[in-house]
Structure formats: C-alpha cells, structure tokens
Amino acid sequence: MVLDRLAEAWLESVQGVDDYTVVGSEFTTHYKKVIGESGKPHFKSVTESGMSGMRMGTMSAGMGMSDWNELRDRAGAVARHVGMQTLRGENHHVLLITDLNRLDAVNIGTGTRPDSIMMYVNPSNWTLSRVTIHGGDVASGASGTVTPTIDFEDYRKVESLRIPFSTKVTMVGMTLDISPEQVAQAQAALVQLEARMKDMPEGQRDMMMAQIKPQMERLQKMADSGTLEQVFTVESVTVNPGLPDSMFQ
C-alpha cells in the first residue's frame, strides 16, 4: 500500500534524528522527536514567523504530514488509490480521501471541512509531492469556495532526512472583501514608504522591502485573479542541534 511505503520510508529517515531545525526565507521551524505509546516516533513542532516572531503550528503538522506513521494509521482505511498521474515529469500514485472523519477536520487555509483531499506520492523516493484540497470555504477576510494546492518540491537529503526545500501554496477561487480603491490605497502607501526609506541604511531598507513588497504583489494578484500564491523556501536544515524540551511546551 502506498501509505505503508510512505510511512516506512519516513520512519527509516528519522532514525538517529532527535531534533532538527528548518530555516526558511520567512520562517524558522523546530522539530523535536517524541516516542508515543506505540513505540513509534513523531515530532512536535513550533514555527517562528520571520515577520513577527509569533509561534504557531506548522501547516504540515496540521495535516499530520510531519508524522507519516500517524497519517497511515488514521487515513489508511479511507484513502483510495485512484491511479497514476504524471507530475513534474514523474509518475505519481494518486490517493483520494473523501471520508475525513478520521483526519480530524483538516483545514488548511479554509474555514470549513473540505469535501475531499488528493495526495500525489512519488514512488521513486516515497515522498509527498502535492496535496490538493477540494470544497472548503475560505476563512475570514475573503469569500467563496477555494481549492488550495500545496506543492512540495526540490527534495534534498540532509543527513538521513528528505526535506522539500520549496513549498508552494496556491489557493484558487478566492474573492477579497476589499475594493479596488483599497488596493490602490495600499499601493500608494507602499510608494510613500519606499520614499521614506531612502534615508535608511541600505541593509535595513532592503530587509524591509523584502518583507513588504511580496505581500503587496500577492495582494494585487489575489484582487486581479482570485488566486493567492506563496512560496516558502528553505535556506538551511540543522539535524540534532540539541533543542530543549521547554521550546515545545
């Protein structure tokens, strides 16, 4: 079974890994191994946003993607193999989940339980390449039915771990509850901010623009097409840095 192979490959990859830290362009996520009652490992995680320093659960942890063994236990009985599909030039197993009761109301960027989830698994290395979520209502700040797609790309092996160094989230069908005039006002405010930042030290100015400008571009794209796209890139992975338990309480 596909989920069995996925879980087995994951369990093999985390042998000898007690904790690890993933540093990205907009986030830093820490993982700590915990051995459950079954004797199988899973990882607690906390994410520090690069924008605010706020701690929050990671998107992947919300779906159980940081614990493939648990996902196999919860979804193995309800995931149906619906064929093979070529994705990024490679054949993938496609799994369809429509009975979401055992997945504890998975919500990724949506306000209600979706109708179904499709998972694309690469058999060449038994990693997850894509998750598509169908039939969820978007959360506050917008309206309509959206289809989030999460693409895990550029897998690299760090120690024994296979880590996607690029995660792209695309949400199609979003309708912003803001007017074109409000978008224009935000753009004008950005121009004024750029003018005020001219007197800042170059490094500080570049750092602020790197944070603000992509947000404005995403806002404009969402207003124009109803599509929100954001790419999270990994810059470094450190295995077994010795993270304290207190970090995860």
- pLDDT tens readout for residues 5-42: 999 999 999 999 999 999 987 788 899 999 877 788 88
Alpha-helical (H) ranges within 160-201 are: 180-196
pLDDT of residue 35: 87
pLDDT of residue 12: 92
What's the burial of 8, exposed, middle or buried (CB within 10 Å: 0-12/13-18/19+)? middle
pTM: 0.72
Domain residue limits, the chain:
2-174+226-248, 180-223
Q: Is the pLDDT of residue 59 over 50?
A: no
Percent of the chain with pLDDT over 90: 34
The total of other beta-carbon atoms located within 10 Å of residue 196's CB is 9
Query: In CATH, which of 2.50.20.10, 3.30.930.20, 1.20.1250.20, 2.40.37.10 is domain 2-174+226-248?
Result: 2.50.20.10
